[in-house]
Amino acid sequence: MEAKIVFITGASSGIGEGCARKFASQGWNLILNARTVSKLEKLKSELEAEYGVKVCVLPFDVRDRKQAAAVLEALPETWRGIDVLINNAGLVIGVDKEFEGELDEWDIMIDTNIKALLAMTRLVVPGMVERGRGHVINIGSIAGDAAYPGGSVYCATKAAVKTLSDGLRIDLVDTPLRVTNIKPGMVETNFTVVRYRGDKQAADNFYKGIRPLTGDDIAETVYFAASAPAHIQIAEVLLMPTYQATGTISYKKKVE
Ligand code: 8X3
């Protein structure tokens, strides 16, 4: 049987990179997207050598929907049969109050977390419907379940990811396609450094006293959903560190 194809956005680090490694380790061919080509090329050489899979590198900014459409249009025939789309590209910038934040930063979050996810879905899902197979896995967040201080706009984008996942599942109900929303809690990746606008110390402090999840931990759950038998649709998964209870409540041991 032909190897399956997974398309991962934001694949150069964190959860996206974790998914690339996990799916490659299970023999899937990968289409990897991110903005930085060098990181993708490195991952490609590594995964092709280690697992004997094929990797197609597609560097573009998911916010640029014209470029996204052109790149997908130019995809060689052998790469068109995408089985799983992982809408992973996403970010949070800043921890400001809703009446004090930067509008330009909000635009970046809304454009990436919501509008780019929609654009990728719009570009990839019609082919899945035509082929009668496919799975869209959106990386949502615990942040989508309830707003928390300093997270207003980010939380709203992840609430949108939940609603868009539910809506897509409804719209695809008469097809064999599946839609999953994975909602991680605290995960230690570069994501938190970006949240603190590059302040690595602030990001490290955020995880002091608690063992956060890793991108690889999340990838295990993503793969579980993708590899479930065809009659099972994992609609939503909320996962977090053992010492976290909600988006705002966690137990952090005192460390000197
Ligand atoms: C990121 C998880 O806990 O920082 O989506 O909101 S959290």
Per-residue pLDDT of the chain (256 residues; tens, 9 = 90+): 689 999 999 999 999 999 999 999 999 999 999 999 999 999 999 999 999 999 999 999 999 999 999 999 999 999 999 999 999 999 999 999 999 999 999 999 999 999 999 999 999 999 999 999 999 999 999 999 999 999 999 999 999 999 999 999 999 999 999 999 999 999 998 899 999 999 999 998 999 999 999 999 999 999 999 999 999 999 999 999 999 999 999 999 987 6
Q: Which atom of ligand 1 is nearest to the CA of 143?
A: 6
Dist. CA 215 → ligand 1 center (Å): 13
Dist. CA 114 → ligand 1 center (Å): 16
User: What's the confidence (pLDDT) of residue 255?
Assistant: 75
As a CATH number, domain 5-239 is 3.40.50.720
Q: Quick one: how far is CA 150 from the chain centroid?
A: 22
Q: Which residues are identified as catalytic?
A: 154, 158
Q: Which of 209, 95, 105 is nearest to 143 (CA)?
A: 95
Residue having the nearest C-alpha atom to atom 5 of ligand 1: 141
Residue having the nearest C-alpha atom to atom 2 of ligand 1: 185
User: What's the confidence (pLDDT) of residue 250?
Assistant: 97
User: What's the confidence (pLDDT) of residue 2?
Assistant: 85
User: What's the confidence (pLDDT) of residue 152?
Assistant: 97
Pocket of ligand 1 (CB under 6 A): 141-143, 184-186, 247
Helix (H) or strand (E) holding 19: helix 14-25
For residue 180, what are the CA distances in angstroms to 42, 65, 151, 198, 251? Answer: 29, 23, 23, 31, 29
Dist. CA 184 → ligand 1 center (Å): 7
* 124-146 residues labelled b (16+ CB within 10 A) or e (exposed): bbeebeeeebbbbbbbbbbbbbe
Residue 252 structure tokens: 């952090």
